[in-house]
Amino acid sequence: MTRNIYLRIALLFGLLGATLILTYFLALYATGTNPLAEMNRLDLLIILLCVLFAMGYFRDRLNRGVLHFWQGLVLGLPVVLLSALVSSLVIYGLTRWIPDLFSEYLNHMGKLIEADYQSGRIKDARYYRNLLKSLPGVTPFSKALDIFLKNFFICFFATGLIAMIMRRHPRPDR
């Protein structure tokens, strides 16, 4: 197998993952909810499914049913990186292009913090005031970076597990 095959599969499934995440983001926006606040980690599932399908496609279609652990990592890690990076960059661009999107997110988070304090989930008044005080310091870049880091590191470790599950060694001829 050439490295070119690994690169093509990683590009295909990585861009597919980014496209699906952005479709999910835009669908939430179109329904009137703030996608920055309501994404609920479905983006992680999208990336992991793309990793799973990339490994399965390589194993079943191109490598005669064989997938070694290292091949799974070589395929999965670029898919994770590409999906997380491209989707985060486009989300950052959208928050800059649609400024109301980010200001609504900050208002939403302020209301959530207030509701948590009123309900007793946040008990310390100093912590509550610090949370409210720190909200204006959140920028579109820091939010996009947060999305990227969470998606990348969680999926990075999960990729190793998927590679172990998906691996299949050649059968010895009998």
The pLDDT tens digits for 35-92 are 998 887 899 999 999 999 999 999 999 988 899 999 999 999 999 999 999 999 999 9
pLDDT higher than threshold 70 for residue 107? yes
Q: Does the pLDDT of residue 1 top 60, yes or no?
A: no
pLDDT score of 27: 95
- Domains: count for the chain: 1
Mean model confidence pLDDT for the chain = 92
pLDDT on residue 174: 47
Q: Note down the domain range covering 155.
A: 3-166
Residue 165, Cβ density class (10 Å: 0-12 exposed, 13-18 middle, ≥19 buried): exposed
Q: What is the dihedral of CA 141, 147, 150, 154, to 10 degrees?
A: -140
Q: Are 21 and 47 within 8 A, CB to CB?
A: yes
The verdict on residue 173 lying in a domain is: no
Looking at residue 122, the DSSP 8-state letter turns out to be S
Specify if 84 maps to a domain. yes
**Considering the domain boundaries, does residue 26 fall inside one?**
yes
Residue 83 lies in a domain: yes
DSSP code for 34: -
Please report whether residue 65 resides in a domain. yes
Helices (H), 98-139: 99-119, 125-134
Q: How far apart are CA 124 and CA 129, in angstroms?
A: 9
Q: Is residue 172 part of a domain?
A: no
Cα distances (Å, whole numbers) of residue 123 to 32, 95, 117, 127, 132: 32, 32, 7, 8, 14
| Closest residue by Cα to residue 89 from 143, 48, 10 | 143
